[in-house]
Chains A and B, each alone.
Chain A
Amino acid sequence: MVQMFPNSLFDNPERLERWIEIAQSSFLPLLKGALTYSLSLSIISFAIGLVIAVLTALARISGSKPLVAIARVYVSIIRGTPLLVQLFILFYGLPSVGLTIDPFPSAVIGFSLNVGAYASEVVRAAILSIPKGQWEAAYSLGMTYRQALQRVILPQAARVSVPPLSNSYISLVKDTSLAATILVPEMFRKAQEITATTYEPLLVYSEAAFIYWMICLILSFIQDRIESRLDRYVA
């Protein structure tokens, strides 16, 4: 039978004190891991990923057969395989063909390719959601495809994409915990290390979860601000 509360906090004041002590001493290292690695990893990967996403979306709607095919295969592979497996191939697999990449750049490549594939569908849908009349108005002023895209279509598509892309970014921040498995010293790896010495997984992992949650709360707040700013021309 499972024993409930074998040495529960509630009747063991010494353990409670130890928890408080561990919680205090681990908070800063965890936060540091989050700020220096989890956040930077997610920001860099998201920026690169967005560029890949826009290019992939443009390839998909270009009507050029080879470009469409390349974009489709890329999106299909990335979406059809687990992120964890992709990271393992990049970091543990590639060295066997002589291509060794450090943990952090491996993670950036993996996450960027991932964001690129998923966000390309968002960007594509956003571009296609802009009424045809906008293209026609741009063309009738004598704009080229590129000018119409830059000046008229993408700014409007950006507004449409903010909510789904914000969700992607928030997911990405949490997914950076997977980088722990390829030795990036981000927050979750720090939590594993602290757990290994303190044997308090519930406390330490909960603390990590709390920090992820706080970061995501802040990000949701920023998302709201961006959305209301972009909405200013919609009466």
Chain B
Amino acid sequence: MIVISNLHKRFGDLHVLKGVSLTVEKGKVVVIIGPSGSGKTTLLRCLNALELPTEGSVQIGEVKLDFSARGKVDKAEIARLRRQTGMVFQGYNLFPHMTALQNVMEGPVTVKKESPDKARAKAVSLLTKVGLADKLDHYPAQLSGGQQQRVGIARALAMDPQVMLFDEPTSALDPELVGEVLKVMKELALEGMTMVIVTHEMAFARDVADEVIFMDQGLIVERGTPEQLFTRPQEERTRQFLQLLS
């Protein structure tokens, strides 16, 4: 489903990704962990071209983008790639001038040109699925962080993505609100959604991930099942990082 090969990203002199390759099978849940500055968020943002990689290629489903330092990538191709992916942000990034329902309808109506009636029916069912059937007409400012993030998940799902990307979805939440978001994510995983998740929730990673990837200094240091990585890490850096957390 996802094939990343030799991905590099430079911000000026800063070499953030130093050749990352990764394959994610359909229906798998991959959790990326690592210290801040390790490039994990940048890697995720390269997957839907919010950051344009300096070098390498990204393939999601049928759409493959090749990046090079010189050539410009076609805008229509970038849009196609983005339509394969749904993104959930650390800061929710809901549209504050729209209600929860309008937020979820926006993509299908504006981008896919679906009829408002059809989009509304789908938005209602998605918001019901994330437990917000009673908040349809609330504006984001009237919702708690956990509720906003669940609207964010519904908004991304409304585009019927092949892959869901989560960028530290619970990092901005008060501790008591983390559970409700993780629960929705777990349900999604059980339904067979392909997911790439950057998170610090190690318990969640253990519970839900098919594969855990440890990144440091722009490279994948180690990868394996949660069992392997958390209980028998092979690399010294992985051990150090996990020790800091416990």
Q: Are the C-beta atoms of A144 and B93 separated by less than 8 Å?
A: no
Contact mask A147-187 → B, CB, 8 Å, 1/0? 10001100110010000000000000000000000000000
Please indicate the chain B residues that have their CB under 8 angstroms from the CB of A155 in the complex.
97
In this complex, how many residues of chain B approach chain A with their Cβ under 8 Å: the count is 28
CB distance from A7 to the nearest CB of B (A): 62
Q: State in angstroms the CA–CA spacing of A140 and B91 once bound together.
A: 14
Q: Are the C-beta atoms of A235 and B111 separated by less than 8 Å?
A: no
- Residue from A138, A140, A159 having most chain B Cβ neighbours under 10 A: A140
The A-contacting residues of B in range 51-106, CB under 8 angstroms, are: 75, 79, 82-83, 85-87, 89, 91, 93-98, 106
Please indicate the chain B residues that have their CB under 8 angstroms from the CB of A137 in the complex.
87, 89, 93-95, 155
Q: Are the C-beta atoms of A139 and B50 separated by less than 8 Å?
A: yes
B17 interface residue (CB < 8 Å to A)? no
Q: Are the C-beta atoms of B79 and A141 separated by less than 8 Å?
A: no
Q: State in angstroms the CA–CA spacing of A155 and B79 once bound together.
A: 23
Nearest chain B residue, comparing its CB with the CB of A133: B93
Q: Are the C-beta atoms of B142 and A235 separated by less than 8 Å?
A: yes
Choose one: A136, A142, A151, A152; the contact of B83 (CB below 8 Å). Answer: A142
B107 interface residue (CB < 8 Å to A)? yes
Q: Are the C-beta atoms of A141 and B141 separated by less than 8 Å?
A: no
Choose one: B94, B96, B107, B139; the contact of A142 (CB below 8 Å). Answer: B107
Query: What class of interface size applies to chain A in its complex with B?
Result: 20 to 34
- Residue from A133, A134, A137, A156 having most chain B Cβ neighbours under 10 A: A137
Please indicate the chain A residues that have their CB under 8 angstroms from the CB of B107 in the complex.
141-143
CB distance from B153 to the nearest CB of A (A): 13
Nearest chain A residue, comparing its CB with the CB of B165: A140
Nearest chain A residue, comparing its CB with the CB of B158: A141
Q: Are the C-beta atoms of B106 and A141 separated by less than 8 Å?
A: yes
The A-contacting residues of B in range 92-151, CB under 8 angstroms, are: 93-98, 106-107, 110-111, 139-142
Please indicate the chain A residues that have their CB under 8 angstroms from the CB of B96 in the complex.
156, 233-234
Majority secondary structure, A binding face: helix
Please indicate the chain B residues that have their CB under 8 angstroms from the CB of A131 in the complex.
93
Please indicate the chain A residues that have their CB under 8 angstroms from the CB of B86 in the complex.
140
Given the contacts A140-B86, A142-B107, A151-B106, A233 and B93 also touching, CB distance less than 8 Å: no
Choose one: A138, A147, A159, A235; the contact of B139 (CB below 8 Å). Answer: A235
Q: Are the C-beta atoms of B141 and A140 separated by less than 8 Å?
A: no
Please indicate the chain B residues that have their CB under 8 angstroms from the CB of A156 in the complex.
95-97
Q: State in angstroms the CA–CA spacing of A133 and B93 once bound together.
A: 6
Please indicate the chain B residues that have their CB under 8 angstroms from the CB of A147 in the complex.
110-111
Please indicate the chain B residues that have their CB under 8 angstroms from the CB of A235 in the complex.
139, 141-142
Q: State in angstroms the CA–CA spacing of A156 and B142 once bound together.
A: 17
B156 interface residue (CB < 8 Å to A)? yes
B159 interface residue (CB < 8 Å to A)? yes
B238 interface residue (CB < 8 Å to A)? no
Q: State in angstroms the CA–CA spacing of A234 and B142 once bound together.
A: 8
The A-contacting residues of B in range 152-176, CB under 8 angstroms, are: 155-156, 159
Please indicate the chain A residues that have their CB under 8 angstroms from the CB of B110 in the complex.
141, 143, 147, 151
Q: Are the C-beta atoms of B89 and A141 separated by less than 8 Å?
A: no
Q: Are the C-beta atoms of A136 and B93 separated by less than 8 Å?
A: yes
Given the contacts A133-B91, A133-B93, A235-B141, A139 and B111 also touching, CB distance less than 8 Å: no
Nearest chain B residue, comparing its CB with the CB of A152: B95
Choose one: A139, A142, A151; the contact of B159 (CB below 8 Å). Answer: A142
Q: State in angstroms the CA–CA spacing of A212 and B121 once bound together.
A: 52
Nearest chain A residue, comparing its CB with the CB of B159: A141
CB distance from B71 to the nearest CB of A (A): 19
B48 interface residue (CB < 8 Å to A)? yes
- Some 11 contacts from A to B, beta carbons below 8 A apart, are A136-B89, A137-B95, A138-B95, A140-B85, A141-B155, A141-B159, A144-B75, A155-B97, A232-B139, A233-B139, A235-B142
The 10 closest A-B pairs by CB, nearest first: A235-B141, A140-B87, A137-B93, A141-B107, A133-B93, A233-B139, A142-B83, A142-B111, A142-B82, A155-B97
